[in-house]
Structure formats: structure tokens, C-alpha cells
Structure 1
Amino acid sequence: MNEPPFIVGKPVTGEYFINREELAKLKTLLSGVASGKINNVVVLGLRRTGKTSLLVNVAGHITTESDKIIPVIYDCMGTSTKSMFARQFIGTVLDAYVQVSGDRAYKQKLSSVVKNGLEWAEKHISEFEGGVAEYVKFRIKLRELKDEEDELLRRALKYPEDLASTKEVSFAIMIDEFQELLKWRIDFLKMLRTIVQSQKRVAYAFTGSAP
């Protein structure tokens, strides 16, 4: 039987996805996070060679095979500022957790806390569980630190580990088109490396495209 054609455009899944060996390797590496084996991976390649499709298929397989690993795909394309990345990244992690775990009560609790106002939340923050506390801290800093984007970025990158520890799950976070963030230079990469290496419940895959 002939292999299905490579399709350019939307992510390819099912019978049209042909990179089975790469899929198996990446899934195995990222799934190790559930047993404490942290493998952070970088995937480089030319544009339109199937990197996004690879991530989508890996996420699908992880979701099917484990209810303790939350796959997250964040697309950096169009991300212009650090604060934009921080807001979108933390929202993507939250939505992925709720979708895979079915824990809608957690998101409802966050909404309830925020509705009471950030001043109220700040006074009661010691009463919240870790995952809620870190989210509230981020929202507070989002309001206060308009000119301190690095701090927003740091708090957003720490959120998955805090949520994973609170909920006793692990995250496999796949950051697509990572080259879009390289405009933030060496200080950003140093921060990212420090945070990524400190996390025990989060594994990362970064994909990048050549010009």
C-alpha cells in the first residue's frame, strides 16, 4: 500500500500522519515525566515539514494512554510581547488541565476568587491551595507589574509545576515555533533554563523552524 500523501496546511492526524517513528520517540520521552524521568526535547526543522502535526499527534496519544499526564501545545507564532506570552501560556495550561482532567470545579473556583476582586484575593491568599494561589498571584502581578514583564514571565512559567504538584498530575508542554521568542535574547533563555531545570512534574518539547 502506498503511503498517504504529505499534506501542507492544517496539522495532519490519523492515516495521513506518516512520521510514526518520530511520534513514538517523542511520546516516550515526554511520557517519562509521569515516573520522574524528565526529558526536555528540542525538535528543529524547515518550515512546513510536519513539526506541528507531530506535536498534535503526540498530544493525542498521551491523552489516550494516560490520565495523569496533561499535554499542552502552545503556538508562539504571533506572540509579540512577554506579557502576551505570559497571559496566553498560563491560560493554555489551565484550559488543557481542565479539558483533560475534567476538573471544571478548579476553573470555577478561580473565576469565583477573581470575581471577589484581587484586593480580596490578596488578603485571603494564604487560604488557597497551591494551584489557586499561584494563579491569583499571577493575576495580581499582571495588574501591578505593567512594566516588569520578566516577573510576569517567570510566574507564568512556574505555574504548570505548581498546578501539577497540587493536583498530583504531570504536564508535557510542547512549545511550537519557539524561534519566535528568541528576540528576547539571552536573559530570557537563562530564565527559561533555570525554571525548566527546576521542575519535577513538567517535561518540555520545543520546536523551531529554520528561516
Structure 2
Amino acid sequence: MFNVGRPVTGKNFFDRSKMVKKLVAYIDDGQDVMVKAPRRYGKTSLIKQAFAVAKKDCIYVDLRRERNLSSVAEIIVDRAYESAGMKGFVGALRKSVVDLLGRAEKELSVDLGIVKASVKLFEQKDTKGEDELLAAALDNIFELASSLERRFYIVFDEFQDIGRFGVAKERVLDRLRGTIQHHAESVSYYFLGSIETIMSEIFENRKSPFYNYCRRMSLEPFDTAEIKRDLLAAFKKRKIVFEDEDALDEVLEKLSGHPANTMVVMQNLYYLALEKDIKTIKKRDLNKAYMDGYDEVLDLIEEYIGEIKARKHHHDVIYRLANGLEQELKGAALRQVLRGLENMGHVTRTGRGEYRINDGFLIEYLRE
């Protein structure tokens, strides 16, 4: 229970019921969507849960894990053919084109010309720019989906990294936008990102090719009332109750709705209950689970602090924000630092001149 460190779905997915419902509606309608959220906020779990509820498969690509746009193109084509009924398309292509086409004729119910176009695409990849190759691969997948009379769903995770592959970000975005706008009938696209300012620049800046292109969603902290209800139900299902629900409220408040940290603490609490055969959780049990969780992620928090201290004024500003102190830095200089903290994923702008720190454990550290 309360799996941590990886995306979760089903019984291990908590909160976010309204967002899942909205995403499922978008998926069912074939609507393209952008989702932005701070690091470790559960955006990947959210999209996978939505597809699970919608009972549809997606082609998932994490841009942070890929070395170049060519590998992104290969993954998308390979997984599209797997979804169509033919596994290992790219691997087979590297071994023998003749054997590949023979397999395709037997295993796929599509026009063989589309398969030949896929083969030609990768045979000529050294003559194309990487952004051109990716765009051509997406066009090819659109043709495949149309031939199959079905829809493909492509998820780009960490999309803010689209400009790190040695091709100018503006050029890649311009080519992608010019390509995927013609795919509405058979392919839907989902763009996830953890650096909110860059995602906003891509999808909300009037000068960007992706301005007003798709529906936009921002992943907020856990809703305290909803996550409390879900947690009480999960523990009750295992015949474990809370002596004082106000104590649970206090811990959830300190966690600031941070999804990953909340799951770490709740997993610690559950294992503590199993180890000690606790049937009624007391305040001291909650506090122990919280502090154990804090200790578990302390190395990560100290890594954050190191990053913050490496930038002028950043530590002072976030320290004052965490402790409710007046900022010494003013005007444009303060706004520049806050934007820097946003780019690092540590704070989120919630209103005019208002910001929140995204990680409750970071707040805990800064208040010590």
C-alpha cells in the first residue's frame, strides 16, 4: 500500500478524482492536453491513471531519458507498430528489411505501403535533420492509425526538455506544431512537464507556435479533504483507525499536499502499524512516520539547498518565504529570483506577488 518512487495506478492512486475525470473526458474526445506540475507531483501517475480509467493504451516517451530526437522517433514508431500487432519493428528493421516486410504482410492489417514508408524513413534518417525525422515519424504514425481506423495516443513526458537535443527549441516546436495540427482525426498528443515556467512559455506565450494549441492543466497539491478521506478509507479497509483525526490533519498540513512526500509518510505509517500490530494509530505514530519520511528524503532536500545556495539571493528569498518574513530584496530583483526558484521547481506562483513552496519537507528544513 502507498507505493512510492514510481508511477502508480488503480488502488495505489490517491486523490485527483476531479482531474482524472476531466482527463478521461479529454482522452475520450481525442483532445490534445498539456499538464504541468512541480517535480515529484505525480503528473505521470495522473496521465497513466486517466488512460487506465479510459481503458485505452498510450505511447509513452520520457524525453529526459532519450539521447536524441532520432531515438524519440524510433520509440514512437516501434510502439505504434506493437500496438498495431507487430512487436520489435525497429529491431527487425535493423536486421532484415525483407524479413520485416514479410512479417508485416502476415501480422498487420494495413496497407503495406505505409510499412514501406516507415522503412524508408529510417533508411534515410542520416539525410534528415532530427526534428525533420521526428515530424516525419509522427506523420507516418498518423497514416498507420488512419489505415487501422483507430486512434493513437502519444504522451511526451518532461516536454520542457524538447530543446536539449542539439536542435534549437524554436525550430523543433515550429516543426512539431506544423505537423501535429493535421493529425486530429487519428492521433492525440499529451505534453507533460515539471518546469512550469518553461511549459507556460511554450503553451501560453503568444509568440510560441504552441500558443492556445491544446487544453492546459496545472497539477495542484493534494486536496487535504480528499486525500484525508482516501487515507482513512485505505487504513480502515485494513482494520486500522486513527485515534485523533486532527493529528492526521496536522501532518497533512505540514506535508503541504506534496504527493510523493505524503505517500512516503503514509507508507511508513502503514509499515509501522504492521510491525507493531497497531490497530489504533496515535499522534506519536503519525509524528514518527513523518520524521522518518523527512529523514528518508533529507539527502534530496540538501541537494535542493545546494542548488539554491549556488544562485545569488535565492536562499535568502526562499528562507524568508518559508518563515513568513518580509523580503529584503525588492522590485525587479526579487521577481527575478522568484522566477529563478520557479524554474528550479521549488516555488509556484499562486497570484499577484504570491508564491508557495512546493515541498513541505523543504519548508521543514528551512524552518530548522
TM class by shorter chain equals 0.7 to 0.9
Q: What 5-or-longer segments of structure 1 have no aligned partner?
A: 34-38, 64-68, 122-127
Corresponding position of 1:21: 18
In 2, Cα distance between equivalents of 1:134 and 1:177: 30
Corresponding position of 1:165: 146
**Identical pairs, percent:** 27
Cα distance change of structure 1 residues 46 and 84 upon mapping to structure 2, 3 Å threshold: same
Corresponding position of 1:66: none
Cα distance change of structure 1 residues 14 and 146 upon mapping to structure 2, 3 Å threshold: same
Instruction: Pick the structure with greater CA Rg.
Output: 2
Amino acid at match of 2:175: M
Amino acid at match of 2:5: G
Shift of 1:60: 1.5
* Count of matched residue pairs: 179
Which structure is higher in RCO with an 8 Å CA cutoff and minimum separation 6?
1
CA contact (8 A) 2:58 2:153 kept: yes
Corresponding position of 1:150: 131
Amino acid at match of 1:160: I
Corresponding position of 2:243: none
**In the alignment, structure 1 residue 188 sits paired with structure 2 residue 188:** no
Corresponding position of 2:35: 43
Secondary structure at the counterpart of residue 94 of structure 1: helix
Cα distance change of structure 1 residues 72 and 117 upon mapping to structure 2, 3 Å threshold: closer
Corresponding position of 1:137: 117
Amino acid at match of 1:196: I
CA contact (8 A) 1:8 1:48 kept: no
Amino acid at match of 1:187: R
In 2, Cα distance between equivalents of 1:90 and 1:82: 12
Amino acid at match of 1:116: V
Deviations 1:157-199 (A, max 9, x none): 1123111110111122221111221333111101111111111
CA contact (8 A) 1:27 1:62 kept: yes
Secondary structure at the counterpart of residue 116 of structure 1: helix
TM-score by length of 2: 0.44
Cα distance change of structure 1 residues 141 and 171 upon mapping to structure 2, 3 Å threshold: closer
Amino acid at match of 1:180: D
TM-score by length of 1: 0.73
Residue from 79, 103, 107 that aligns with 2:66: 79
Shift of 1:41: 0.8
Deviations 1:72-114 (A, max 9, x none): 222222212121111112112222x24xxxx459x7xx87xx5
Pairwise CA RMSD: 2.8
